[in-house]
Amino acid sequence: MSYTAPTPVASGTTFAQFQAGGASGHLEKLIAAQGATSAPSSAPTLAASGSGNTLAAATYYVVITESNGFGETTQSPASASQVVSSGQQLTVAFPSLQPGNLSRNVYLGTVSAGPFTLYATGITTATYNCTVVAPTNSYAVNAPTINTTGLIYTDANGNTNNKTLELIRSAKDGNFQDLYRFLRQTIEEFNSGQPTSWQGKMTKLRQAHAAIAILDKLCSEMGMLMDANAGTLYLAPVGPGLQRQYRGWP
C-alpha cells in the first residue's frame, strides 16, 4: 500500500487579481479550481505468469479506481477474467490516468459483478504485479460507490460532505487551530486503537492533508507572484514638508 498526497490544481490567479483580492480572494480562486476528477472509463487488462508467488489460485477479475490525493474515484469497468494457477502472479495493466489523477488503486474479485476488495493503493506505474495473498484485515474494503475527489461530495447516505472546505474556511477565518485539532484527533484515535474503520480514518487524514496542501499551494502561488512583481519603493508627500515611503508598480 502507498499513500498518495493531495496535489492541488493551480488557481491561475494573476497579479492584478492578487492585488485586488489579497490572500482571501486568492484562496477562494484556489478553492474554485479544485474540481472532482473522473473515474477510469476503460477496464484494466490482466495476464498470469511466473512461479513462486503466494497469490491464491483462482479466476480473477479486477477493477481499478484513481486518486488525486484528495479522495478516490468510483471504479472502472471490470476486466475480463484471468485464471491464475498456484504460484503464478497476476499482472494488471492500466489505461492512462484521467486528467488530474495521480495514482491507481487495485481491487480484486472472483466474480465479474463483484464484490471487489482492495488489494493495492497508490500505484503510479503502468502495470502492477499481484504476487501475495489478498489482504483479509483492515485493507479488505470494497470499491467505492461515491467519487470523493472533490472538496464537496454527497455520501452514500445522501449527506453532503464538505469537511475539507470547512477546515480551509475555518483557517481563513482565523481558527487555524481547528484544522490542527482535527488532524491531531484523527491520529490519536488511530494510534490508541479505537475500533474505527481504516477507510474512515484515511478519509479524515486526507481531509486534513488536503486543507493543509491548499494553504501550502496558496503560499507558493503568492510567493511566486510577489517574487515576479517586486515593484519599487518611492517617496510621496503626505503633508506640508512630509514624505512617506510607498511601494509601487509600473
Taking only the tens place, the pLDDT of each residue in 97-130 is 999 999 999 999 999 999 999 999 999 999 999 9
Q: How confident is the model at residue 199 (pLDDT cuts 50, 70, 90)?
A: confident
* pLDDT at site 139: 84
Neighbouring C-beta atoms of residue 241, cutoff 10 Å: 6
> What is the Cα–Cα distance from 92 to 111, expressed in whole angstroms?
17
For residue 131, give the C-alpha cell.
504476487
d(CA 10, CA 65): 23
Share of the chain above pLDDT 70, in %: 100
Q: How far apart are CA 48 and CA 129, in angstroms?
A: 9
Query: What is the rounded average pLDDT of the residues 174-200?
Result: 93
The whole-number average pLDDT for the span 38-54 is: 97
Cell numbers at 30, concatenated: 484556489
Mean pLDDT, all residues of the chain: 95
Top-confidence residue, 198 or 18: 18
- Cα–Cα distances (Å) from 163 to 93, 179, 181, 204, 211, in that order, read 34, 10, 13, 9, 9
Phi/psi of residue 2, nearest 5 degrees = -140, 135
pLDDT at 239 over 90: no
Confidence of residue 250 (pLDDT cuts 50, 70, 90): confident
Query: What are the start-end ranges of the H helices in the chain?
Result: 15-32, 163-172, 176-191, 198-228
Determine the pLDDT at residue 112. 94
If you average pLDDT over residues 44-48, what whole number do you get?
Answer: 98
Is a pLDDT exceeding 90 seen at residue 155?
Answer: no
pLDDT > 90? residue 214: yes
Among the listed residues 228, 213, 236, 244, the one whose alpha carbon sits nearest the alpha carbon of residue 16: 228
In the predicted model, is pLDDT for residue 241 greater than 90?
no
Q: What is the CA radius of gyration of the chain?
A: 24
**233 CB-contact burial (10 Å; exposed 0-12 / middle 13-18 / buried 19+):** exposed
Confidence at residue 194, expressed as pLDDT on a 0 to 100 scale: 87
Give me the helix-helix angle, 198-228 and 176-191, nearest 10°.
Answer: 150
